[in-house]
Amino acid sequence: MTISARVFSPLDTPVWEQFVATANNGTIFHERKFLGYHPEGRFQDHSLLIEKSGKLKALFPAVEVQANEGRALVSHQGSSYGGIIVQRNFSFQESYDFVEVLCEYAIHTGFNRIQMTLPPAIYQHTVSNYLDFSLIKHGFTYKKRDVSSMLTMESTPEKNLERFAPSHRTAVRKAIKQGVTIRESDDWADFYALLKENLKIRHNVQPTHTLEELLQLKQLYPDKIKLFGAYWEDKLIAGVVNFSVNDDVVLAFYISHMEEYQHLRAVNLLFFEIISWCQEHAFKYLDFGIFTVNMEPNFGLGRFKENFGASGVFRDTFELDLTL
């Protein structure tokens, strides 16, 4: 049977969206609706459909990048995760063939390099390392292996709380006693101002999204993107923007709080309520996000997340130099 790769066309949108919805490792970050919200011209889309005897078998959301080392085919830069998106019943042979045809396509179309960031293993409905093996077998190497904190849901909020470190359980009770309340919020502008200030002070960077882009995404995904706020005396003092990325995983995409109210321990209560919400809505995991940047660990941030009962999973970025 013939396996081939071809470039995505807007006419492929319905079949692309349908494939992602039933894929083994599909997320909202792979949907054309998400990839397409970016302003025209920001990215040069070069997404691929991989077909076997004319039947769609895999997707590769990607962009074309011009760099000093030449032309690169890269996981879509408008998305947190990329990789090869596969069906739930894909085989080892298919994973090997998908990587092989991707490499052949890149060589024949003049690319010097391929780079992709895979979703962590918890994002798969059926956990498999077939693709990882196939990538390494074809010469890919790890460009970086960042660590993301993830929490597995327990059966009740009480059991989730039992997994907290004693200091975090005490902090939750303190926040409640001090009058902190948690609710789903529409105070996006207030949260964004808080987020922007915190990122500037702590890291001297801007948020990934503008406020307008964040509101646009909320409009595109009203049930999957939610802002949870911690309030004290009717003032927003902390917030978390959650992305329900598939049926199993909620990703805490943005986390921010007011330093002057840190003594109220609002963030601890906020995450307890978010974890309870995830458990109530039958999600399996909460992804707290990475605490390493380009493999440089933030030990304090990692410890803070561990105290909720979280552990680490890899967020791997693979790279292949096609000039060697």
pLDDT (tens digit per residue) in 219-262: 999 999 999 999 999 999 999 999 999 999 999 999 999 999 99
Residues 78 and 97 in one domain: yes
Same domain, 41 and 140: yes
Mean of pLDDT over the chain: 94
The 8-class DSSP code of residue 76 comes to: -
- The whole-number pLDDT of residue 68 equals 78
Neighbours of 258 (CB within 10 A): 18
Give per-residue pLDDT as tens, 19-34.
999 999 999 999 999 9
Q: Domain of residue 134: give its range.
A: 3-144+316-321
Question: Do 269 and 171 share a structural domain?
Answer: yes
Q: pTM of the predicted model, to two decimals?
A: 0.93
Q: How many CB atoms lie within 10 A of CB 201?
A: 9
Q: 90-149: per-residue pLDDT in tens? A: 999 999 999 999 999 999 999 999 999 999 999 999 999 999 999 999 999 999 999 999
**Same domain flag for 17 and 110:** yes
Same domain, 178 and 246: yes
CB contact burial 41-79 (16+ within 10 A = b; e otherwise): eebebbbbbbbbeeeebbbbbbbebeeeeebbbbbbbbb
In a domain, 258, yes or no: yes
**Are both 128 and 76 inside the same structural domain?**
yes
Inform me whether the pLDDT recorded for 38 exceeds 90.
no
* 29 and 127 fall within a common domain: yes
- Label residue 1 by pLDDT band (50, 70, 90): low
Assess whether 72 and 192 both reside in one domain: no
Three-state DSSP state, 305: helix
Instruction: List the CATH number of the domain containing 85.
Output: 3.40.630.30
Residue 310 falls inside a structural domain = no
Domain annotation covers residue 308: no
Q: Which residue has the tokens 């080892």?
A: 92
Q: How far apart are CA 174 and CA 238, in angstroms?
A: 15
Q: Residue 115 burial (CB < 10 Å; 0-12/13-18/19+)?
A: buried
Report the number of distinct structural domains present in the chain. Answer: 2
Domain membership of residue 266 (yes or no) is: yes
In this prediction, residue 206 carries a pLDDT of 84
What long-range pairs does 185-191 form, CB within 8 A, spacing at least 24? 185/227, 185/228, 185/229, 185/236, 185/239, 186/227, 187/227, 187/229, 187/236, 187/239, 188/214, 188/215, 188/218, 188/227, 190/236, 191/227, 191/229, 191/236, 191/239, 191/241, 191/254, 191/256
Give the residue-averaged pLDDT of 35-53.
89
pLDDT at 79: 86
For residue 70, pLDDT over 90 is answered with: no
pLDDT band for 4, please (50, 70, 90 cuts): very high
Domain match, 169 and 260 both = yes
The token pair that represents 45 in the structure block: 């889309």
Contact at 8 Å (CB) between 87 and 290? no
Q: Is there a domain that residue 290 lies in?
A: no
Q: Are 76 and 62 in contact (CB under 8 A)?
A: yes
